[in-house]
Amino acid sequence: MEVSWLYLIPLLPLLGAAVNGLVGRFLPKAWLYAVALLVVLLSFCIGLFAWFEVARLPGESAQLRQLVYTWFSVGSLRVDLGLTFDRLSGTLVLVVTGVGFLIHLYSVGYMDEDPAYWRYFAYLNLFVSMMLLLVLADNLVAMFVGWEGVGLCSYLLVGFWYDDETKAYAGRKAFIVNRIGDFGFLIGIFVLYFYTGQVGFQALKVAPLSLGVASAAAALLFVGATGKSAQLPLYVWLPDAMAGPTPVSALIHAATMVTAGVYMVARLSFLYVQAPGVMAVVATIGILTALLGAVIGTAQMDIKRVLAYSTVSQLGYMFVGVGVGAFAAGTAHLITHSFFKACLFLGSGAVIHGLHGEQDLSRMGGLRRAGLKHTAATFFVATVAITGVLPISGFFSKDEILAQALNTRAFDFLTVLPDPGSPRLSFLGPTIYLVGTLTALITSFYMWRCYLLAFEGEYRGPAEVHPHEAPWVMTLPVWILAALSVVGALIVLPGHDLRFTWEHFTEGLFARTRGGAPAERLPELVAFGIALVVAWAGFATAWSLYAPGRALEGDERIARVSPGLRKALAASLYVDALYDRLVVKPLWATARTLWRVVDATLIDGLLVNGTAQAVASVGSVLRRFQNGDVQRYAAVTAVGVLILVYVFLVRG
């Protein structure tokens, strides 16, 4: 259904950004807050209205569309600024504006004392606008605008406190690593355009693609996703991105932007199911990243870095979901994750706020009884959700992904090598399930470690810091998110006859993989049992090491058992150092060498100035002819002209 008002959803926050960015400095603070919050709230309301419209419409026709204008059209390429609000993008609009609004509200408390609050809210509004464009775009190029737009906001907000060189560097790193991914995204667009002449999702959906083209395009676009959604090998920017203000980490680096890659794959499910090999890669990268993030997360001391690696890991789960063709399960986890991870990040923000900037777990402890009642309680709820010790949102959404991975038949007809005689890839699904279950164990461990170290036991920080609870503008949004982490379970409840589940809601939106109906390799209830046991095992391990009163003993014990491993994990497995040695340093060295050798010495020194010197020495001979005798000049000139005239007129 064509409507004429969809553009308001991304436009309103953009206007908010413009107002706050241009004149925010001169506005009274309250007005600025009002503008920043109202535009997001209005977008949310419009989104809600549209969402009910879409929910009423039946099945696949359930979408609202708007062609805002034709952005550019050259040759056979036509790029529209077109928006599509369907059940997937529509729900994400609600997540972005809803969670976004809560985080805006929270920021009013968090950033109140920062002199550059106006700049902060301008960036935050801009981010919401760009994220909405990314989600609503009906073609790859418009999506790319939002894609790079959120990257810009991430750059600006990570480096928000730019006086600090390392923070500015973290922002730059985020942007550049994302650009490496965007490079893949761009080439992916080119491939699709070259073979189909289209960039719009609707047109691409029905365009015939060969296996090779579909695989190339899907793989290239996935490179973009590894950048934006912090997957192997491009995840390295996300932990550093924690340099930004904590609400930003919650909104951009947990709930919304980093899930864009998952959304993109789900949006392009029709393309990915045509490239089963790439889907296997997506799922493999996803599970490896999930494991890696969880493992590194066990040894981080900075509360935000624990959560950052946790995000990397959870995003890996989502890619497992979309990679095995369980697009609904992957996106459902995206939604529940946005609730509980935003809750966790905002909780950590309240801790940092209450401890005057302290982020180190070793100087926390006992915060529950030291006054941070609300924060501790909400953090606890969200920790339960992510670890799955009780069946609330995170439990079901993660379990669904793992069950789908276990039972998938998407890879049954793929072989390890192109040679048809080589072994089949059907082992991939069960393997992913096993690794994923192990990862769930580790997840439960590091999250409970984090909770116990921060909130239980005795306070270990300096005596002059008196922990205090955040004001209501900060605790209220966190409570709402905690509540959502619990009720979020409703949309992911198992059972195929429940009408309100996400799977039912999005029926027909996603393409189906070739393998056919999933196998039943494990009864559902057994799988639930395993998941619960694993979650409790993780909790038990954490409890045995970090039980209240033991303070940091747990870390010391691990360090005693395996000092090398502990050090390597704390240093994030030296991946940054490796990239630095392999890519960054050589690149800059090449640049400097090329400049000195080719530009300065070879071209300029030898060719240019060398020629000049040769000319100069010839000139010293010719100088004899240049003796100031005007008559002789005239004679020579005349002869020259005659020769030219002869050449052109007589012979020509």
Partner 1 sequence: MDFLQSHLLTLVIFAPILGAVIIAFLPRDEGGQHKGVALLASLLTFALSVPLAAGFRPAARGFSFEQRTDWAPNLGFSYHVGLDGVALLLVLLTTFLGPIVVLSSWKYIQDRVKFYCISLLVLETAMVGTLAALDLVLFYVFWEAMLIPMYLLIGMWGSERRIYAAVKFFLFTFVGSVLMLLAIFYLWSHSAPPGQLRTFDYVALQAQMPSLAAGTQKWLFLAFALAFAIKVPVWPLHTWLPDAHTEAPAAGSIVLAGVMLKMGTFGFVRYAMPLFPAAALQYAPAIAALGVVGIVYGSLMCMAQQDLKRLIAYSSVAHLGFVMLGLSALTPEAVNGAVLQMVNHGVSTGALFLIVGYFYERTHTRDLSQYGGVARVAPALSAVFLVVVLSSIGLPGTNGFIGEFLILIGTFTSTTPLGNWGSLPRGQVLSVLAATGVILGAVYMLWMVQRVIFGPKRRAAEHGMTDLTLREWLTVVPLLAAILLIGVYPQPFLSATRVPAEELIQRVARPRAARPQGAGLQRPPDPDLPGAARAEGER
Q: Which residues bind partner 1 (CB under 8 A)?
A: 69-77, 141, 144-145, 148-149, 152, 155, 159, 162-165, 168-169, 172, 175-176, 179-180, 182-183, 186-187, 189-191, 193-194, 587-588, 590-592, 594-596, 598-599, 603-604, 607-608, 612, 644, 648-649, 652
CB 413 within 8 A of CB 516: no
Among residues 434 and 602, whose Cβ is nearest to partner 1? Answer: 602
Long-range contacts of range 73-77, CB-CB < 8 Å, 24 or more positions apart? 76/197, 77/193, 77/199
CB 234 within 8 A of CB 181: yes
Among residues 93 and 192, whose Cβ is nearest to partner 1? Answer: 192
Among residues 39 and 143, whose Cβ is nearest to partner 1? Answer: 143
Nearest approach, Cβ of residue 72 and partner 1 (Å): 5
Among residues 416 and 644, whose Cβ is nearest to partner 1? Answer: 644
CB 523 within 8 A of CB 407: no
Nearest approach, Cβ of residue 158 and partner 1 (Å): 12
Q: What is the DSSP string of 482-519?
A: HHHHHHGGGGG-S-TT-TTSHHHHTTTTS---TT-SPP
Among residues 28 and 75, whose Cβ is nearest to partner 1? Answer: 75
DSSP 8-state assignment for residue 316? H
Nearest approach, Cβ of residue 163 and partner 1 (Å): 6
Nearest approach, Cβ of residue 176 and partner 1 (Å): 5
Two structure tokens written together for 115: 């002199």
Among residues 144 and 448, whose Cβ is nearest to partner 1? Answer: 144
Two structure tokens written together for 135: 């989600």
Nearest approach, Cβ of residue 260 and partner 1 (Å): 14
What number of other Cβ atoms are within 10 A of residue 643's Cβ? 10
d(CA 191, CA 18): 35
The Cα diameter of the chain in Å comes to: 110
HEC-encoded secondary structure of 348-390: HHHHHHHCCCCCEHHHCCCCCCCCCHHHHHHHHHHHHHHHCCC
Tell me whether the omega of the peptide bond preceding residue 115 falls within 30 degrees of 0, making it cis. Answer: no
Among residues 178 and 485, whose Cβ is nearest to partner 1? Answer: 178
Nearest approach, Cβ of residue 603 and partner 1 (Å): 5
Among residues 116 and 281, whose Cβ is nearest to partner 1? Answer: 116
Nearest approach, Cβ of residue 142 and partner 1 (Å): 9
Nearest approach, Cβ of residue 372 and partner 1 (Å): 34
Among residues 183 and 380, whose Cβ is nearest to partner 1? Answer: 183
CB 91 within 8 A of CB 84: no
Among residues 603 and 638, whose Cβ is nearest to partner 1? Answer: 603
- Nearest CA among 180, 298, 313, 216 for reference residue 542: 298
- Nearest CA among 228, 25, 28, 11 for reference residue 125: 11
d(CA 395, CA 393): 5
d(CA 185, CA 207): 19
Nearest approach, Cβ of residue 187 and partner 1 (Å): 6
Nearest approach, Cβ of residue 643 and partner 1 (Å): 12
Q: How far is CA 549 from CA 366, 370, 420, 643, in A?
A: 9, 15, 59, 103
